[in-house]
Amino acid sequence: MTKVLLASKSPRRQALLRQLGVDFAVLDVDVPEVPRPGQPPIEYAVSVAAAKARAGAIRAGAESVVLGADTDVSVDGEILGKPQDAGHAAQMLLRLSAREHQVCSAVAIVHGGELRTALSVTTVEFGPISEAAAMAYAETGEPLGKAGAYAIQGYAARWIRSIKGSYSGVVGLPLFETAALLDALTLTAQPPTTPPNSP
Ligand SMILES: Cc1cn([C@H]2C[C@H](O)[C@@H](COP(=O)(O)OP(=O)(O)OP(=O)(O)O)O2)c(=O)[nH]c1=O
């Protein structure tokens, strides 16, 4: 079976792809991640996921199957990005307090020079976050390297009143959409006899 190459440094994406039972290796790619002013979050997420998969395919060759992904948090259509430091993280968290925001997660696969993409958009509603709690969470370091300065899979779960969409998409790799892309290439693994990540 063709081996999938995951063009991602994110340990979350590796863990999520393992959940599908896919045999894969990790490929290190570096793609600039700067949205154009006013660029719609959906368009941006798809273009960055595609750039990561294409960069991987250039390194790995046309025979390879390279998967890239991108996750972005946006409020009122504005992409928040990742926090630069703890103060910036606290500011982002206070913007998300007591309201809904969107998480766009795009997946892209390049195989034989052909690009296929899929998208998941999730609406997340946060309850109120006090300034002191935002500062304290920011200081833990968990928000660093995370879009929107939070981890749904971590302590930030305590603020999440509801999510409508894909939990795995918020964590970084929407598994329904990823499995569908792999199915289309007949690369789906069989369900593992021992689920690899289940507790
Ligand atoms: C909203 C949210 C994001 N994230 C993470 C997922 C992504 O790893 C990260 C968004 O940044 P990305 O640029 O999508 O990914 P990355 O830089 O971590 O990894 P790579 O580009 O090498 O694939 O934020 C969480 O882990 N939990 C969350 O709840």
Please report the domains of the chain, with CATH numbers, ordered by start residue: 4-184 (3.90.950.10)
Tokens of residue 76, six digits: 């009122």
Return the ligand 1 atom nearest residue 33 CA.
Answer: 13
DSSP class of residue 137 equals: H
What is the reported pTM?
Answer: 0.94
Per residue in 13-44, pLDDT tens? 999 999 999 999 999 999 999 999 999 999 99
Given ligand 1 and candidates 8, 146, 152, 163, which is best to mutate, with the most ligand atoms within 8 Å of its CB? 146
- CA dist 57 and 51 (Å) reads 10
* pLDDT given at position 198: 61
Q: What's at 49, amino acid-wise?
A: A
72 is a catalytic site residue? no
Please tell me the distance between residue 161's alpha carbon and the centre of ligand 1 in angstroms: 21
pLDDT tens sequence across 183-192: 998 776 666 6
Spatial contact of 12 and 172, defined as CB atoms under 8 Å apart: yes
Beta strands 4-7 and 24-27, pairing class:
parallel
